Amino acid sequence: MKYSSILLLSLGLASGVALAGGSGNTEAGVGGALGGVLGSVVGQSVGGSTGAAIGAGVGGAAGGAVGARRGNKTEAAIGGGLGAAGGNVIGNKMGGTTGGLIGAALGGGAGGALGNNYGDNNRDDDDDRRSYRRGYDDDDDWHDNGYHRGHYKKRHKHRRHDDD
């Protein structure tokens, strides 16, 4: 590779990190960017431009999933894979092999970070709904079977002792 290609590739990786933002999003973005570039390089050597796109997708998905939070791995993998594959194809059309590598880095980084962020937002919505149900705000279904024993309801069983 020429020195300009290495410089552009480093710039692409740094851009992928800059797009990531956020705490868990940064790791998913870096993972998606690195995975997309490495997958693109391996795929290019095995199967040309088509192999590069497939390799970028697989590598971006793996990298995004590795870098994401525990509950967001699926979303980050989908985002990183789609972003890296799409970035590789578009970059390859615009700037050849080097453009494909830069596109895979940018797309994989942005896709992994966006997927991780989407998973966080989705989890926050679920938590909001759960806390609403936990408070029984507008629920008329709540009752305690008339015993009014509070937290003793489940633990103590009251038995009737017959005196013989």
For 80-120, write each residue's pLDDT tens digit. 999 999 999 999 999 898 999 999 999 999 999 888 888 87
pLDDT for 67 equals 86
d(CA 39, CA 135): 49
Q: Are 36 and 83 in contact (CB under 8 A)?
A: yes
pLDDT, tens digit (0-9, with 9 covering 90-100), for 111-146: 998 888 888 777 666 555 555 555 555 555 555 566
Q: Are the CB atoms for 52 and 99 separated by under 8 Å? A: no
Of the pLDDT bands very low, low, confident and very high (cuts 50, 70, 90), residue 17 is: low
Rounded Cα distance between 22 and 121, Å, is 13
pLDDT of residue 25: 82
User: Is residue 82 within 8 Å of 111, Cβ to Cβ?
Assistant: yes
